[in-house]
Amino acid sequence: MRPFPLTLFGSLFLLASAPALSAAAEMQVDAPGAVLSIEFAGEVDAAVSQHIVNWIAHVADQVSMTYGRFPIAAPRVMIIPTKGKPRSNASPVPFGRVTRRGVATVELYVDVDRPIEDLYADWTATHEFSHLLLPRISWRQKWISEGFASYYQNVLMARAGQYTPERAIRMLREGFERGRHSRPEWSPNQAAEEGVRRARYKIYWSGAAIALLADLRLRELSGGDESLDTVLGRFQQCCLPAEGYWTGTQFFRKLDSLADNPVFMPLYQQYANTAGFPATDVALSDPVLRDEILRVRTSTH
């Protein structure tokens, strides 16, 4: 893991006289098994831009903690500078998305006036980079792509030391509660059909709950030899980058074919078309979640 750059804290107020980085400039950072090309969609102070590049490298290392390497060999990262409102609870990265028309690209809207430590504490980039662990999933099962990214944003922030295990569990619990109270009459598949505007929390957090249940079941059935990490690592070796869209059942069947202990289609059959929300209380109290899944890692391996 790239060390957290503590020397950057509190330094941004000194940067006003630094030259601006041209919007056309491109910078590169290495991650395990990958080189990320970073572009800025607007002029940014040169020193601030270097801090942002260091932060992106840190997030890339976070995502590489899933199975020891970055999922895509040559992604692009587009930084779109913004000027946020001075609110204490405003995200320094108010929006992000992944596009895969040609080169896989992570677009991040970044408030370049915020202190750099705010970026390291924010989960948006980790969530967006986590989408690259999966292929493009059909919008009809959007809960899988958004849910797995929501699960991993908390897992990886804990592994990198940004969250304590206790905080990560609290973040998951609060997310699950939002999902449980969002459209309880709908199943995950129905919520995806209705769309994010009508069922955002149901879509994001039902998928995260199923990712957690799959992770724990894999670890339990294998005695700790297999996990969501290892199965996604096998998927990356065989199938990424992937062309086109996968349905949720295609993706889960493929994961089951790669796993020693198939758990994904049983979970799909149990929850995907069932109203309500997956039961997560026992999972959140499982010591494996705190001691193994969320354990701080000192490297990507």
pLDDT tops 70 at residue 24: no
Taking 80 as the threshold, does the pLDDT of residue 15 lie above it?
no
pLDDT value, residue 157: 98
- The model carries a pTM of 0.91
CA 168/CA 165 separation, integer angstroms: 5
Over residues 249-257, mean pLDDT: 98
> Long-range contacts for 267-275 (Cβ within 8 Å, ≥24 apart)?
267/210, 267/213, 267/214, 267/217, 268/210, 271/187, 271/188, 271/206, 271/210, 272/141, 272/187, 272/188, 272/189, 272/248, 273/187, 273/188, 273/189, 273/190, 274/187, 275/184, 275/185, 275/186, 275/187, 275/190
Residues 6 or more apart whose CB falls under 8 angstroms from that of 193 comprise 140
80-134 pLDDT, tens digit per residue, is 999 876 666 789 999 999 999 889 999 999 999 999 999 999 999 999 999 999 9
pLDDT at residue 9 tops 90: no
Q: Is the pLDDT of residue 10 over 80?
A: no
* Tokens 């992937």, residue located: 242
Q: List, for residues 155-212, the tens digit of each pLDDT value.
A: 999 999 999 999 999 999 999 999 999 999 999 999 999 999 999 999 999 999 999 9
DSSP code per residue over the chain: -PPP-GGGTT-GGG-TTSPEEPTT-EEEEEETTEEEEEEESS-EEHHHHHHHHHHHHHHHHHHHTTTSS-SSSS-EEEEEEE-----TT--SS-EEEEE-SSS-EEEEEEETTS-HHHHHH--HHHHHHHGGGS-EEPGGGHHHHHHHHHHHHHHHHHHTTSS-HHHHHHHHHHHHHHHHTS-TTS-HHHHHHH-HHHHHHHHHHHHHHHHHHHHHHHHHHHTTS--HHHHHHHHHHHH-S--SEE-HHHHHHHHHHH-SS--HHHHHHHHTT-SS----HHHHT-HHIIIIIT---SS--
Q: Which amino acid is at 239?
A: C
Question: Tokens 């990214």 identify what position?
Answer: 149
Are the C-beta atoms of residues 270 and 162 closer than 8 Å to each other? Answer: no
Domains and CATH numbers, the chain: 6-133 (3.10.170), 136-293 (1.10.390.10)
Q: How far apart are CA 292 and CA 286, in angstroms?
A: 10
Mean pLDDT, rounded, of the chain: 91
> Residues of the chain with pLDDT > 70: what percent?
90
129: tokens are 């980079």
Cβ-Cβ contacts under 8 Å for 135 (sequence gap 6 or more): 239, 240, 241, 242, 245, 246, 251
- Mention every residue, 6+ apart, whose C-beta is less than 8 A from residue 89: none
